[in-house]
Amino acid sequence: MDGMAVDQTEDIELLQQAIAACRICRDAPAKGEGDRLPHEPRPVAVLSKTARVLIAGQAPGLRVHESGLPFNDASGNRLRDWMAVTREEFYDPRKFAIVPMGFCFPGYDEKGSDLPPRLECAPLWRARVLAAMPQIEFVIAVGQYAQAWHLGPRRRKGMTETVRNWRDYVFANEGPRILPLPHPSWRNTGWLRKNPWFEADVLPVLRQHVDSLIRGTDFG
């Protein structure tokens, strides 16, 4: 993976402060001056010393940008329902780390859809963040950008096939277990209807792992 040299002992609080102060997408855009973030950056990420579950999303939407609270929208409601957790549990940093691929709201394209995560963010921060949280045991990779980073060449050609082959990642022998999910956006409601196996096969596994890791229940 690209990224800065990492320090396994990096302090979580100092790293969180450094992320909050980051303005690279405004001050040093990857594609040059014409691609500056058009608004004031507001990095949104929740790092944790103790959480065993990492939610790896895409990038904040406008509501998250305004509130500073990750998944503070309808997508977050659906994701919490998928995991069968309360809002209080979800926002407890002792239970969940929430680290999107891009920390700032990237803006909208000409069709009014959210732009992809900024190119500057993951190469600069992601390896440092992951190295600072070695206790993570389960990564929930939400959407294609998180799946591309966390699965690398193991990712299938498309999102559907990646999610359909979830067993290859959850039951891998090395590193944290990784479960790929579609983005919980309302835009994927049609996909959910066309792929009933997701609710029948994947969600029980998601809920079982989350329950075990945040509440201490046993698998099976």
The residue to which tokens 């990096």 are assigned:
10
Which token pair is 137?
A: 């045991």
Hey, what CATH class is 14-215 in? alpha beta
Q: What is the per-residue pLDDT for 113?
A: 84
State the DSSP code for 108: B
pLDDT in tens, 23-55: 999 999 999 988 999 899 999 999 999 999 999
Chain centroid, CA 62 distance in Å: 16
Q: Tell me if 187 sits within 8 A of 111, measured CB to CB.
A: no
Q: What is the pLDDT along the chain (220 residues), one digit of tens a residue?
A: 444 444 445 899 999 999 999 999 999 999 998 899 989 999 999 999 999 999 999 999 999 999 999 999 999 999 999 999 999 999 999 999 999 999 999 998 888 888 999 999 999 999 999 999 999 999 999 999 999 999 999 999 999 999 999 999 999 878 899 999 999 999 899 999 999 999 999 999 999 999 999 998 654 4
Domain boundaries along the sequence of the chain = 14-215
Residue with tokens 């009933």: 196
Collect contacts of 172-178 with beta carbons under 8 A, ≥24 apart: 176/54, 176/136, 176/137, 176/138, 176/139, 177/137, 177/138, 177/139, 177/209, 178/138, 178/139, 178/141, 178/150, 178/151
Residue 148: the pLDDT is: 96
The pLDDT score that the predictor gives to residue 6 is 43
Residue given tokens 């690209």 in the structure block: 2
In the sheet that holds 177-181, the strands lie side by side as 96-98, 53-56, 138-142, 177-181
The predicted pLDDT at position 3 comes to: 43
